[in-house]
Structure 1
């Protein structure tokens, strides 16, 4: 995507857990990339390569051992309202209704009651949960719970949406429906998305670009541009070029997993 100014720019990020201790783990090694407004970036790599560590570092939950993160040219030194996270385990508050879960971040920001009402109901409609605003998480299916998590993240209107394997806990049929719905939301709301997944199919279907990571310590070793126009539907997956992109990602992963086996880490 030919944009002049990146919304997210990170340079030579290193993350070392328990640094200086016998059980030290070098999770990320000199990770750098630029992400432009409105892009959908998927990050994919072998298990344990540091995908979630990278996402949590970008969110400000982890402090890098070295390196810098900039959003719109301003250095990031911790969590902020310009980013929102969607977790794989839904992370809903069971004592709150759908409405109150989505409103949570807006109340922390001390938005007015009228603004909260307007925004929450807007995103409830956007994710197809009309009529469920008074329900509690235990009354919802897995797919519906994840819709609440997505609506909650969109409601605070972040510049960057960070998604950590958000569909891994739902069934395959619901997962495919959610992929289409997230794309519609992303395009409608013009959001920049960083998305972690283990699924090659999911990465190719959703992304403008895919960042391919190495075995630990994780590095971005290749960036693959998915040159298939939006909007995409499930029929997109039948295109020959779609299958070609899947093969490219699989060949990368296969090579990295072999390296893991050779090192005795898989």
Structure 2
């Protein structure tokens, strides 16, 4: 995963204030800035309520920042577009549609004709290991299979940046570890740029080329840690001393932020 000099995604001084000016105003993000380069796998980690998902939804265009700017390849953006796609933690599949139709949804929404999207949809269904399940419905799938559909749908629109909001939180631990390996294979094969939200330190270290650490609310970026472990990674990677050192460093940060939450009475 090699950086380019020009960031593919840049965000400057993002502030998000919910219910601004009201007694229940919440300052979710404060002066958040960063750069994401092509081919990076970035995980964002921090204490609960620190604004991780708010940041991700703002970068996707689903949420308008109170102030600040977001740009893709140097061009400022103001809402959702084909350059970014989201994979949600709760699968967000349409139960009345088949695997094929769920994966094709974003392409159809973009105005693509069925005759032009078939090969692409089948490619990504095969890529996530669901070949032969094209005509199954979500209720016929396991949790891990449903999340694979969500990942295939995100890839199918071929975004410049794929945003993943705790995509494995709703599946069991064994499936989660397998999915981690599978996602890394896909990312490397497809050469995609990913921003990933997780509460799991282990997951963040395993997947990421860089980890962004956030503070308690109002959420701010307080550090960035480059994970200097070469790809491809396997589950055996987790036994490396360097891997354990990264986990301890991030845990020390997270523990300190959680203590700050308790002192503020927000935990």
Alignment of 1:42-61 (within 5 A): 42-61=43-62
Aligned residues: 266
State the distance in 1 between where 2:121 and 2:71 align.
29
**Matched residue, 2:266:** 265
**Matched residue, 1:250:** 251
Alignment of 1:37-186 (within 5 A): 37-186=38-187
Any idea what SS the aligned residue of 1:6 has?
coil
For structure 1, the residue ranges without an aligned partner over 5 or more in a row are none
For the aligned residue pairs, the C-alpha RMSD in angstroms reads 0.7
State the distance in 2 between where 1:119 and 1:20 align.
47
Whether contact under 8 Å (2:124, 2:156) holds in the other structure is yes
TM-score by length of 2: 0.98
Q: What's the CA shift string for 1:202-230, capped at 9, x where partnerless?
A: 00000000000000000000000000000
State the distance in 1 between where 2:12 and 2:209 align.
21
Q: What's the CA shift string for 1:191-249, capped at 9, x where partnerless?
A: 10000000000000000000000000000000000000000000000100000000000
Structure 1 residue 2, shift from structure 2 partner: 4.1
**Matched residue, 2:11:** 10
Structure 1 residue 107, shift from structure 2 partner: 1.1
Q: What's the CA shift string for 1:41-83, capped at 9, x where partnerless?
A: 0000000000000000001111111111011001010011100
Structure 1 residue 110, shift from structure 2 partner: 2.3
TM-score by length of 1: 0.99
State the distance in 1 between where 2:3 and 2:168 align.
29
State the distance in 1 between where 2:160 and 2:116 align.
19
State the distance in 2 between where 1:191 and 1:2 align.
12
State the distance in 2 between where 1:42 and 1:206 align.
8
- Worse-superposed segment, 109-118 or 124-133: 109-118
State the distance in 2 between where 1:158 and 1:181 align.
19
State the distance in 1 between where 2:209 and 2:3 align.
11
Any idea what SS the aligned residue of 2:213 has?
strand
State the distance in 2 between where 1:124 and 1:108 align.
18
Structure 1 residue 90, shift from structure 2 partner: 0.2
